[in-house]
Structure 1
Amino acid sequence: MLSTTRKPWRKGAALVLALTLGAALAGCGSSKAAEEKTPAGGENTAATAPADKTLTVYTAGPEGLANKLIKQFEEQSGIKVETFQGTTGKILARMEAEKSNPVADVVILASLPSAQGLKKEGMTLPYPEAKNADKLNKDWSDAEGNYFSTSASALGIAYNTKLVTAPPASWSDLTKPEFKDQINIPDPSLSGSALDFITGYLSDKGEGGWSLFEQYKANGVVMAGANQEALDPVITGAKSMVVGAVDYMTYKAKAKGEPIDIVYPKEGTVISPRPAAILKSTKHEENAKAFIDYLLSDSAQKLVSDAALLPGRTDVKAENRANLDGIPLLKTDWNWMGEQGAAVTDKFTKLFK
């Protein structure tokens, strides 16, 4: 098992896409470097590593997948990897705190606008020649190679199958009186995918889209931490549904036998890509490029599919979940979503607090 994962912070940090976070960190866990491994057989996707065979990756999970990816990369490359795992908001807060002495070489986020923000701030190192980059979904990745969305999730309505026998078909169904005080929504200041859902919905519906969230508030919808914290009460039956639920978490819980399922509303939803980027401040450029090459490889994309995520490559299909062609989508403007992210987060959290 990978021994480099840091424990999550006890206190959340705001997700600010322009990376102007000023909040102090509330403490973090400890970490130790992974044992250096000798290159093993199998698919050789990584470039030859220089003498300094180390790399630091900050990743927004999921933890099980991240551990498997890191382990396989270490075995194939001989590069040892130290990781920090947390939500997108916590990763951006950590990067802000470390800006005078950057630590991370590569970041994997759960929000495309966050990666767009890194590019805009000049913090990414372009790698346009990355192997298999031409096979990625072009809507999710940067044409100049500043970030690569190697996986994605779709956002929907997760529901407890014991409590909800007729699942909702529309986002507006959740405003019905029978669902009063039974619904959670993740906090967009802690969850990049939750912010993607909210800004994506507003991108499609315009300013009038706020009326849906106002009706949610009036119907007792509760903002309940990050994604897993919002989902857990639905699994246990304390709540009935999560709006803006991350689908791979629901699929994984369902596969374990939990009474949970997910529906994608008929008017469409938002795909939340998970971009990886090399930071310009890296001191291990070749190792970082080797890691990006690995994330786009056949073996890494198979691990993504096995984790119930949408693969980033268009030529790889998931076998245990709905694929992209089976999910109705809203018309989203990612540039608008990135520009409005901080303002939307502020307005939404004030509405629900």
Structure 2
Amino acid sequence: MIMKKSWKNGAALLLTAMLGVSAAGCGTAPKPANNTPAAAPQAEQPAKTETKKEEKKLSGKLVVYSAGPKELAEGIQKGYEAKTGVKVEMFQGTTGKILARMEAEKANPVVDVVVLASLPSAQGLKKSGLTQEYKAAAGADKLIPEWSDPEGHFFGYSASALGIVYNTKLVTSPPKEWTDLTKPEWKGKVNIPDPALSGSALDFITGYLSGKGDSGWDLLKQYKQNDMALAGANQEALDPVITGAKSIVAAGVDYMTYQAKAKGEPVDMVYPASGTVISPRPAAILKSSANVDNAKAFIDYLLSDEAQKLVADTYLLPGRKDIKAKDRAGVDQIPQMKIDWAWMDTNGNDVTKKFTQLFK
């Protein structure tokens, strides 16, 4: 009797289990999943732990070589250090000096990030295999696309435009076109920055030649015949115009002019209607960087609201489309030449040598 009762109980349990499976397969059992212990949240836990690892606090240092302006470079350094806790070791110089320093250190590179004042120079670094991509840069989707590398090897976080800068006390009727500077009235009164030292000056000269071809050298030869002086980098070319030792800078950098004007200096500028070059200022992470996470965070900071406001406050053109330029002409208000950045990159060295030889 006891065996019979046990058999009946076992059969009843088996039938119940089979009915349960059948009900689950037909979708008629409404609550079994809800009665199961919270397994799903536990399965998601590793993903949360991984996210925390990706957001780990940065530390250590970052070596940055940066083209000016000085107050912007220092402002960005201070803001980045405050945000990340990373110590920045910064060398400031012209694009030419930065590239020369990198060349001298190529056997033992130390720099993590370079900030240049010339787009072709950044293109050259990429072509030489010296940069690394960073496709996840925060804010990169808001940048003016023509100023940055589509593969994420450099980012045009700001820009300057080149124009005819003049002393307002000495020049009452400023020249309006590049060809006007060949007139006798400007003989011996004009400076031009050295493209071997100024990345933006190189951008202007190669940009002009990329559109004009060999005939573009005719204008530059006329400049030399009119005693135009080769005067160092941008600031060295501008200072004599501020003091009145010279009247004009050809291919002068606009943000320096706006800064000087805001301080009460007697300078102003003209963008020729025939067009000029807007020179992006790109930042790139070097492939040899020993501090890649810190370098990526630096690029993110350059493209942030905070840093882009610093850019605008320095009278540069912000790299982001949604940030307005401050008290100056914006990108859409500056007539631009048709230029070929690829040609400029390929021919930059040859143009520099020929130009400096011409102006000796």
**Shorter-normalised TM-score: what interval?**
0.7 to 0.9
Aligned residue in 1 for 2:297: 290
| Change in CA separation of 1:263 and 1:101 when aligned onto 2, cut-off 3 Å | same
Q: How does 1:158-307 map to 2 (within 5 A)?
A: 158-307=165-314
Aligned residue in 2 for 1:129: 136
One-letter amino acid matched to 2:172:
T
Superposed CA RMSD? 1.0
C-alpha distance in 2 between matches for 1:115 and 1:54: 23
The structure richer in helix per residue is: 2
Report the Cα offset of residue 207 of structure 1: 1.1
2:126 alignment partner, SS class:
helix
Aligned residue in 2 for 1:327: 334
1:206 alignment partner, SS class:
helix
**Pairing partner for 1:116 from 101, 116, 123:** 123
Contact 1:49 1:79 in 2 (8 A): no
One-letter amino acid matched to 1:347:
K
Contact 1:158 1:260 in 2 (8 A): yes
Report the Cα offset of residue 48 of structure 1: 4.4
| Mapped pair 1:147 → 2:165 | no
C-alpha distance in 2 between matches for 1:179 and 1:105: 45
Aligned residue in 1 for 2:37: none
Q: Deviations over 1:66-86 (max 9, x none)?
A: 001100111111111010000
Aligned residue in 1 for 2:13: none
Number of residue pairs aligned between Structure 1 and Structure 2: 307
Q: Point out where structure 1 has 5 or more consecutive residues left out of the alignment.
A: 1-45
Mark the structure with the bigger radius of gyration. 2
C-alpha distance in 1 between matches for 2:265 and 2:168: 9
| Mapped pair 1:316 → 2:323 | yes
In the superposition, the TM-score normalised over structure 1's length comes to 0.86
C-alpha distance in 2 between matches for 1:137 and 1:47: 28
Q: How does 1:23-34 map to 2 (within 5 A)?
A: none
Aligned residue in 2 for 1:79: 86
Contact 1:47 1:286 in 2 (8 A): no
Q: Deviations over 1:318-338 (max 9, x none)?
A: 121110010000001000000
Q: How does 1:26-45 map to 2 (within 5 A)?
A: none
Q: Deviations over 1:40-71 (max 9, x none)?
A: xxxxxx96444x42101000111011001100
1:275 alignment partner, SS class:
strand
Q: Deviations over 1:192-229 (max 9, x none)?
A: 11000000011111110111001100111000101000
Report the Cα offset of residue 342 of structure 1: 0.4
Q: Point out where structure 2 has 5 or more consecutive residues left out of the alignment.
A: 1-53
One-letter amino acid matched to 1:241:
I
Task: After superposing the two structures, state which structure 1 stretch, 315-324 or 150-159, moved more.
Answer: 315-324
Report the Cα offset of residue 317 of structure 1: 1.1
C-alpha distance in 2 between matches for 1:57 and 1:262: 32
| Change in CA separation of 1:342 and 1:208 when aligned onto 2, cut-off 3 Å | same
